[in-house]
Structure 1
Amino acid sequence: MEFPQWVVDRVLARQGCLHPHERLPARQTAFVVVDLQNYFTQPGYQGENAPARATFGAVNRLAQAVRAAGGLVVWIQTCADGADQFWSHHHAKMLTPERSARRLVELSRGHAGFELAPGLQAEPQDPRVVKRCYSALAPGSSDLDAVLTAHGITHVLIGGTVTNACCESTARDAMMMDYATVMVPDTLSAVTQDEHIACLNNWMLFFGDVLESGEVIERLQA
């Protein structure tokens, strides 16, 4: 990904180099794939983000490379069961009644919208983590931190959808919890390209690295 010169200049001034991770220790690295569920990727669902479907190939390639190098692939799935209670402000004030009701149904654990989208190559050994709100690492949202800790993970790669909501929220919290965190742009998608790019520019300025999947694969050190 090409960054504007003003982003490059500020990153260089802050950390002395554009990309701080010359090598990624594969056995301590997890590829965390956020919300590539039917609800967020497939036609007919309220949360459809059509550009997400174009990322599936890159997601599958990176997932296979991480596994082959000895790393971990984690699939995150949002579940809305009970969200009108535990996330009441969001459902009551930030969604219309119609959108709230539909989200509760289409993201319920028993609905097809909850399932991972067809075409994704999840393996039986890959952990599945269910989250309750945008960030999988927000207090009480999921057990992602426990899963990463149990596997000795120190480096986190973020893919999924949407770039500037659940993916960015999870990535920011990972960085705050001292995981070395990398956003992987060709495995991410937003509703518009402008939102996608703006999010990644801001991430690069303050939070962590941005590397395409091919660059990540080159850096994986088995």
Structure 2
Amino acid sequence: MYGISQEIIDRVVARRGRLHAYETIEAARTALVVIDLQNYFMKPEYPSSVPAAREIVPKVNEAARVVRSRGGTVVWISTSSDGAEKFWSVMHEHLLTPQQERGRRAGLQPGSDGFALWSGLEVEPLDLQVTKRTFSALVHGSSPLESDLRGRGIDTVLIAGTVTNVCCESTGRDAMMLNFKTIMLADALAGKLASAHVAALSGFIENFGDVMLVEEMAARLA
């Protein structure tokens, strides 16, 4: 199931008494949070492109249509590198080569081609668009996402986008620890490596929340 091993599924069931933590989802209190489907991560010419991310776009759009149609909120998250060499110096000075550091700052500058959302996404005027500064959209100082969600009475977060085991997992874990019910949408997420994608889903369902397909989420969305 989702590539997750039977051993982990058995441990999840033993721990919570069932596989899925959330059998019903209240649409009006739910937000689909779509992370980093920007040209920088989508277009083949960018070094950080994720080929699998282009493949999940139909599922992301399907999830967005379902959530909207039932009264939920859709949020498109974009990463900005503006000023990152200062506020995130550990990342930029120590975890990237000078060439990669320059490429990241240039590619994710607001207003650049890399910063723009992928053209195949069905973004609607009433959707929220939020800019984040670090991997997690919910860590302190990264974005206004938490206050946006609280202000709308949201208590459930569905995570989609890329990269599964980096920004998506980071945001999902923080959402759970901020007391949001959190569900990773397995077929609306993409990693650079299938093994890393599955590992992130495995760790998430065991300790942080739920993992579902878009179809399974839609069936539970009341």
Pair in the same fold by TM > 0.5: yes
CA distance in 2, matches of 1:34, 1:170: 9
Residue deviations 1:118-174, cap 9 Å, x none? 110010100000000000001000000011011110000000000000000000000
Match of 1:163 in 2: 164
Matches within 5 A, 1:73-92: 73-92=74-93
Task: Normalising by structure 2, report the TM-score.
Answer: 0.98
Matches within 5 A, 1:20-35: 20-35=21-36
CA distance in 2, matches of 1:186, 1:57: 10
Instruction: Output the amino acid matched with 2:95.
Output: M
CA distance in 2, matches of 1:146, 1:46: 33
Cα displacement (A) at 1:21: 1.3
Match of 2:71 in 1: 70
Please identify, of 15-24 and 60-69, the stretch whose mean Cα deviation from structure 2 is larger: 15-24
* Root-mean-square deviation over aligned CA pairs: 0.7
Q: Where does the alignment leave 5 or more consecutive residues of structure 1 unmatched?
A: none
Percent of aligned pairs with the same residue?
47
**Does 1:97 pair with 2:98?**
yes
Match of 2:149 in 1: 148
Match of 2:185 in 1: 184
Q: Secondary structure at the match of 1:112?
A: coil
CA distance in 1, matches of 2:84, 2:70: 38
Segments of 4+ moved more than 2 angstroms: none
Residue deviations 1:175-203, cap 9 Å, x none? 00000000001100000111111110111
Contact 1:46 1:103 in 2 (8 A): no
CA distance in 2, matches of 1:5, 1:55: 25
Match of 1:119 in 2: 120
Q: Where does the alignment leave 5 or more consecutive residues of structure 2 unmatched?
A: none
Cα displacement (A) at 1:46: 2.4
Match of 2:48 in 1: 47
CA distance in 1, matches of 2:86, 2:59: 36
Residue deviations 1:3-26, cap 9 Å, x none? 322111111121111002111000
Instruction: Output the amino acid matched with 2:200.
Output: C
Match of 1:110 in 2: 111
Q: Secondary structure at the match of 2:117?
A: coil
CA distance in 1, matches of 2:9, 2:56: 26
